[in-house]
Amino acid sequence: MFKILKKQELSEFVTLFEFEAKDIAKKAEAGNFFILKIHEEGERIPLTIADFDREKGTLTTVFQKVGKTTEHLGTLNEGDFISDVIGPLGVSSHIENFGKVVCVGGGVGIAPVYPITRALKEAGNKVLSIIGARNKDLLFWEDKMRDVSDELVITTDDGSYGRKAVVTVPLEEFLKGGDIDMVIAIGPAIMMKFVCKTTEKYNVKTVVSLNSIMIDGTGMCGGCRVEVGGETKFCCVDGPEFDGADVNFDLLMERQRMYPDEEKAAMERYTEAIKGGK
């Protein structure tokens, strides 16, 4: 049993839990995820490790309430217990001193990009970070990201906080300045696609994390399959991080069109931005 020590509602649909997981926290690295079951008869779901504290023996996760299990998870409170947690899983992020790195987090993707940003900063990189969301209410962890970044840019689609722009606008400004050695991007598939289109023009290596498409978390269900470099990969066992230039985002998004109106709106926003619109 894993005790919930902290619960924080980051927005109407996004919740943070910090919970006891001593053995997992000892081995957790940036880029890892874990699988939990709320109770013995519950569904197994993968969630990203958003933070970990080896001394306290705790994990932090940030999740969006989008289905029955995450809705149920969101009803738990501090002092409640989660039945089962397995991890750390997935291939951890490759961390070294690359030089100057841009870390981009969109929406709930801000949570998994944080430990990667911290690890890159600790490795001696100069880190420029961009976090964005549709509006101010959906932004979180500004202070945490600022603490591990040499520079932080905040964007919102509606201009309610920070710059009114999508994340590719300040990203391109950084790229035009030169000397960017690598970009890390985590967020909605459409965001990562256009981040890669932007960096492609400047021939900058871009790593994306496809954690959001995982279902089973073990490679058995096939739901997280993705075409990378012309080959089929499974996000949960081969990733979740891949070279963005090799990911077939169009094929990936064809399987994700559960919300066509929202997908269309996002596509229009990023298409405008990539053409130079604000």
Give 186-243 pLDDT, tens digit per residue: 998 899 999 999 999 999 999 999 877 666 666 666 667 888 899 888 877 887 899 9
Residues 212 and 233 in one domain: yes
**Do 159 and 66 reside in the same domain of the chain?**
no
pLDDT of res. 22: 95
Query: Among the three residues 89, 121, 138, which one is the final residue of a domain in this structure?
Result: 89
Q: What is the pLDDT of residue 276?
A: 53
User: Structure tokens of 76?
Assistant: 């738990």
Other C-beta atoms closer than 10 Å to the C-beta of 54 total 11
Same domain, 84 and 105: no
* 223 alpha-carbon distance from chain centroid: 18
| pLDDT attached to residue 227 | 82
Domain with 36 in it: what CATH number?
A: 2.40.30.10
Which domain does 48 fall in, by range?
2-89
The count of structural domains within the chain is 2
Same domain for 208 and 240, yes or no, is yes
Residues of the chain with pLDDT under 70: 213-223, 255-278
For residue 197, give the nearest of 256, 153, 146, 249 by alpha carbon.
Answer: 249
**Which of 89, 112, 141 delimits the end of a domain?**
89
In single-letter form, the type of residue at position 69 comes to: T
Q: Strands 45-48 and 100-106, how do they pair?
A: unpaired
Domain-located, residue 165: yes
